[in-house]
Amino acid sequence: MPSGKRPPHAFSLAGEVRDYECDLQGIVNNAVYQNYLEHARHVFLKQSGIVFSDLAKSGTHLVIVRAELDYKAPLRSGDAFEIGLSIRKLSPVRIEFTQDIFLLPSRKLLLASRFECAAMDASGRPVFPRVLDRLFAV
């Protein structure tokens, strides 16, 4: 993941830590960030008119093929945060999401991540239904 300045994000979503998401170290468990980031991606999709569960029912599965997460500082009970999200096309059938989590109100960067995502049909064959082009509209 490139260090240095993070690009401005196309989309952002605010959230706050729920106590059940914290583990015995008293911090948000590593796996839970993937929950947050998935949720932010699905809200972004929905805002573009693409409902993830409908897409799955229609036979197109958006799947993560690679995830990279840099954990810089932990979220704790009571923390508020913002998830920034950017998207670009890596290939005709592959999408990249860049997602950062910032503490609020300081906007300190807590986590930087990127996800490579592919669309496939039920048999695992790559597809890229036209509806997904909406994600890249200016």
Separation CA 99–CA 88 (nearest Å): 12
Nearest of 134, 128, 115 to residue 61 by alpha carbon: 128
* Minimum distance, C-beta of residue 66 to its own copies, in the bound complex (Å): 5
Q: Which is nearer to its own copies, 46 or 134 (CB)?
A: 46
Q: Which is nearer to its own copies, 32 or 131 (CB)?
A: 32
Other CB atoms closer than 10 Å to residue 123's CB: what's the count? 7
* Minimum distance, C-beta of residue 46 to its own copies, in the bound complex (Å): 8
* Minimum distance, C-beta of residue 109 to its own copies, in the bound complex (Å): 13
Which residues are CB-contacts of 38 (< 8 A; sequence separation ≥ 6)? none
Whether 23 is catalytic is yes
Give 28: exposed, middle or buried? Use CB within 10 Å, 0-12, 13-18, 19+. buried
Q: Which is nearer to its own copies, 33 or 102 (CB)?
A: 33
Binding site for its own copies (CB under 8 A): 18-20, 22-26, 29-32, 34-35, 38-39, 42, 46, 51-53, 56, 61, 63-74, 76-78, 124
Which are the catalytic amino acids?
23
